[in-house]
Amino acid sequence: MTFPVVGMVGGGQLARMTHEAGIPLGIRFKLLSDTPQDSAAQVVGDVVVGDYRDLDTLREFARGCDVITFDHEHVPTEHLRALEADGIPVRPGPDALLYAQDKGEMRAKLTSLGVPCPRHRIVRDVADVVAFAAEGASEGASEGDGFPVILKTVRGGYDGKGVWFVRSEADAAEPFKAGVPVLAEEKVDFVRELAANVVRSPHGQAVAYPVVESQQVDGVCDTVIAPAPDLDETLAGEAQELALRVAKELGVVGHLAVELFETRGPDGKPGILVNELAMRPHNSGHWTQDGAITSQFANHVRAVLDLPLGDPRPRAPWTVMCNVLGGDFPDMYSAYLHCMARDPQLKIHMYGKDVKPGRKVGHVNTYGDDLDEVLDRARHAAGYLRGTITE
């Protein structure tokens, strides 16, 4: 059979779960992993161990792949262009990926498209930060000196890393120490965080998942509720349309996660601002594995191969995803037994990673008709696996 080969760069849990979703599709999956112990490398048949920052390694890996896609956004743009020049389809392509790699470029592009974003500016030093903050105060968006503000390195951050909550001028020097350009953003007074996830294929077909609520703890995704409870229907539609428009305008192929702030205007009217973009399967879409007709992983594979996309609709009234973070106990196996025995409907997804405190080592999905019950079950399992709940 002439079923194609998908090459995925990066051996993390997203690649692991993409491989899982690709098995029933009959596609061949090839992995470029940093080490043979990486989460995905443990379960994939065709693994190349190598450094994605090395062009020769990428070129060698790409040989025999029908398309290249990604577990993360860190492959250098010039390497992606070189692969494209070699005739290898890269999806999402470098022109789109740039906006997921560089927060400064992302803000400039979205603003040019009229997509609502927090007030932002590239800042070069502490004085710039102070001026940026003061402007917010003078516009009435904040009080006093305009602090706090958010500073972010434009590249390389994730899960709260590369992000600083800056309360005053005295805190503002730290982010500049890495020598990377820094983006200042207003501290948005949001009601909650949402995510609008869409998948787009090269020929332009696109599907939108229900908008979800995403709850963060210490800058790391903790709980996702699908769909977002009590979300204004018009706003939900606007968020989906916004994500579809961003996918189209940026030329995204594959899964696009648009992380959003839900805001409440002085008139009480709800609104949305774009927080972050991710052009790959995303933590806010893990619920789809057990809660949607077609998972984000299956649709990502279908999109990068330009296959017709699958139905993104939910299978249950409520689905909840809770991340399992490493706790103080290095061995989760007995907790895992307990959780399975306690809740035979629980869907556990382990990543095969060594447990380290705070590290994402898995997630659980629950679904059902009663949101409180579904939330309780997911939170209990995640807490028990981490060791923060012991009964």
Of 154 and 292, which has the nearer Cβ to a second copy? 292
The sign one gets for the Cα dihedral 313, 319, 325, 329 is negative
We find the least distance from the C-beta atom of residue 377 to a second copy, in angstroms, to be 12
What track of x and - describes contact with a second copy for positions 284 through 303 (by CB under 8 A)? -----x---xx-------x-
Nearest-10 crossing angle of helices 55-62, 77-85? 40
We find the least distance from the C-beta atom of residue 161 to a second copy, in angstroms, to be 24
Are 58 and 26 a contacting pair, CB within 8 Å? no
Based on the shown chain and the rule CB under 8 A, indicate whether residue 369 belongs to the binding site for a second copy: no
Of 258 and 335, which has the nearer Cβ to a second copy? 335
Based on the shown chain and the rule CB under 8 A, indicate whether residue 127 belongs to the binding site for a second copy: no
- Distance between CA atoms of 381 and 151, rounded to whole angstroms? 34
Based on the shown chain and the rule CB under 8 A, indicate whether residue 44 belongs to the binding site for a second copy: yes
The distance of Cα 166 from the centroid of its chain, to the nearest Å, equals: 24
Are 21 and 286 a contacting pair, CB within 8 Å? no
We find the least distance from the C-beta atom of residue 348 to a second copy, in angstroms, to be 6
Tell me which stretch binds a second copy (CB under 8 A): 25-33, 125-133, 145-153, 245-253.
25-33
Based on the shown chain and the rule CB under 8 A, indicate whether residue 359 belongs to the binding site for a second copy: no
Based on the shown chain and the rule CB under 8 A, indicate whether residue 311 belongs to the binding site for a second copy: yes
- Tell which one of 118, 136, 362, 383 touches a second copy (CB under 8 A): 362
Are 303 and 251 a contacting pair, CB within 8 Å? no
Based on the shown chain and the rule CB under 8 A, indicate whether residue 85 belongs to the binding site for a second copy: no
Based on the shown chain and the rule CB under 8 A, indicate whether residue 25 belongs to the binding site for a second copy: yes
We find the least distance from the C-beta atom of residue 180 to a second copy, in angstroms, to be 35
What track of x and - describes contact with a second copy for positions 315 through 354 (by CB under 8 A)? x--------------xxxx--xx--xx--xx-xxxxxxxx
Of 45 and 87, which has the nearer Cβ to a second copy? 45
Based on the shown chain and the rule CB under 8 A, indicate whether residue 3 belongs to the binding site for a second copy: yes
Q: Nearest-CA neighbor of 183 among 118, 258, 260?
A: 118
Of 143 and 328, which has the nearer Cβ to a second copy? 328
Contacts of 389 (CB under 8 A, 6+ apart): 380, 383
* CA atoms in the 13 A half-sphere facing the CB of 211: 27
Tell me the two tokens of residue 71.
């577990």
Tell me which stretch binds a second copy (CB under 8 A): 17-25, 90-98, 186-194, 374-382.
17-25
List phi, psi (to 5°) of 383.
-70, -40
Based on the shown chain and the rule CB under 8 A, indicate whether residue 309 belongs to the binding site for a second copy: yes
DSSP secondary structure, 105-162, as one string:
HHHHHHHHTT-----EEEE-SHHHHHHHHHHHHHTTSS-TT---EEEEESSS-BTTBT
- For the chain, the farthest-separated pair of C-alpha atoms sits apart, in whole angstroms, at 67
The SS3 of residue 75 is coil
Task: Summarize as ranges the residues that interact with a second copy (CB under 8 A).
Answer: 1-3, 16-17, 19-20, 23-26, 28-29, 41-45, 47, 289, 293-294, 302, 307-311, 315, 330-333, 336-337, 340-341, 344-345, 347-355, 362
